[in-house]
Structure 1
Amino acid sequence: MFQKTLILDNSKLNISAGLTFRQVKELVNGYENIGATLIDFKNFQRDIKCYIVLRDADLFIDRLEKLKATQPQFYFAYDVDPQNRLTKFFWADATCIRNYSFFGDAVSFDPTYGTNKYDMVFTPFTGVNHHRKSVLFAGCLLLHEDDISFQWTFQHFLTAMGQKEPQFMITDQCPSITKVIV
């Protein structure tokens, strides 16, 4: 049990199984006192990664539910497909919402950012503050760049921002976006 707890903590820090094994050796005064081999440590780390890959969206949502419980202004929404895979994710924290209340007259929505390992596109809502610095109003991850996804995104943006529409929106010339915001 002792080794598993240490490996879990080190895996959060992205420390290798080999380094974890050496750290445990120092804690228990020698390799002979560990009670496991380096291969056991590597296998355990592999098993944790497999578990996380299979449940990463659930773990992500669970973490955000906990965040919402401690920060009432934190807003997030998500959608899944029939196979229960995450397809849309929107969030705005208290700072984002406050920034929008001050600087949200003009909003830039840019769905052209690269995809992550899940092929979801990062689509931030941004603006400019009184110091001419970019500020984030909200963020979104989308699996599809289509009318339905953009409509869902804009609805949640307005919900998070208290139904206050921006006076001006800057975006690319994506027909799906134009169709939704015009």
Structure 2
Amino acid sequence: MKDFQKTEIMAMEAVGIRKHVIMDVLQCRYGGYGEVGIIRKDAYNISSRYKRSRIANGDAMTVLGLMQSRQKDDPDFYYDYQMDGDGHLKTMFWCDSQSRMDYQSFGDVVIFDSTYRMNRYKMPFVPFVGMNHHRSTTVFGCGIVSDECVDSYVWMLGAFMKAMCQQKPESIITDVESYPACATRC
């Protein structure tokens, strides 16, 4: 891959063009797939390396920058976070305007459950979901927590309620038994 192609790919990635579209743009620019000189996987790899290099130092600050950027594009985008004493991200909650509107319409029942440390930071991912009138899953918001203590989940639920203008659901479904650490306060 030539340096100017890497630069083009990174520039398109930086402005939010999706990876599969980047290759389409390159094909149009160079006159076809065979003329580009790289394959789709090469474009995915350079985009992935570029993204990793942007967040390698100061991951939490990078994420907060992305959240601020999303909020500029979508004024109803909401996020809140907590840092620990060492400046590490402790908890974070976010939702976009569509999720907030969906909650207003379909937020009678909220399913609140976490994955078990499925990401590289070993932080549980906490989706808040429900069902719409077509019985399709609707995401109301998402969060991450650094630990599974009661205080972290209390904060997460508080951030969710703040994002949803204190409109309480009729029911919340969760699986507390899966999380023995939830039985203690940190």
1:47, 1:100 → 2: CA distance? 35
Q: How does 1:61-72 map to 2 (within 5 A)?
A: 61-72=64-75
Alignment CA distance shift 1:5-1:112 (3 Å): closer
* Structure 2 counterpart SS, 1:66: helix
User: Shift of residue 53 of structure 1?
Assistant: 1.4
Aligned to 2:97, which of 91, 94, 99? Answer: 94
Q: How does 1:162-177 map to 2 (within 5 A)?
A: 162-174=165-177
Q: Does residue 60 in structure 1 map to residue 63 in structure 2?
A: yes
Alignment correspondent of 2:79: 76
Alignment correspondent of 2:143: 140
Instruction: Report the TM-score, using the length of structure 2 for normalisation.
Output: 0.68
User: Is contact 2:149–2:183 with CA below 8 Å preserved after alignment?
Assistant: no
Instruction: Report the TM-score, using the length of structure 1 for normalisation.
Output: 0.70
User: Is contact 1:103–1:129 with CA below 8 Å preserved after alignment?
Assistant: yes
1:138, 1:112 → 2: CA distance? 14
2:148, 2:9 → 1: CA distance? 39
1:47, 1:67 → 2: CA distance? 20
Q: How does 1:90-129 map to 2 (within 5 A)?
A: 90-129=93-132
User: Is contact 1:87–1:142 with CA below 8 Å preserved after alignment?
Assistant: yes
1:150-175 CA-partner distances (Å, limit 9, x unpaired): 01101110000010111111000247
Q: What one-letter code is carried by the residue in structure 2 that aligns with 1:103?
A: F
Question: What RMSD over aligned residues (CA atoms) do the two structures have, in Å?
Answer: 3.0
Point out where structure 2 has 5 or more consecutive residues left out of the alignment: 20-29, 31-47
Greater Rg over alpha carbons, structure? 1
1:179, 1:132 → 2: CA distance? 35
1:100, 1:46 → 2: CA distance? 36
1:177, 1:80 → 2: CA distance? 20
Alignment CA distance shift 1:70-1:50 (3 Å): closer
2:184, 2:132 → 1: CA distance? 28
Alignment correspondent of 2:161: 158
User: Is contact 1:150–1:176 with CA below 8 Å preserved after alignment?
Assistant: no
1:150, 1:98 → 2: CA distance? 23
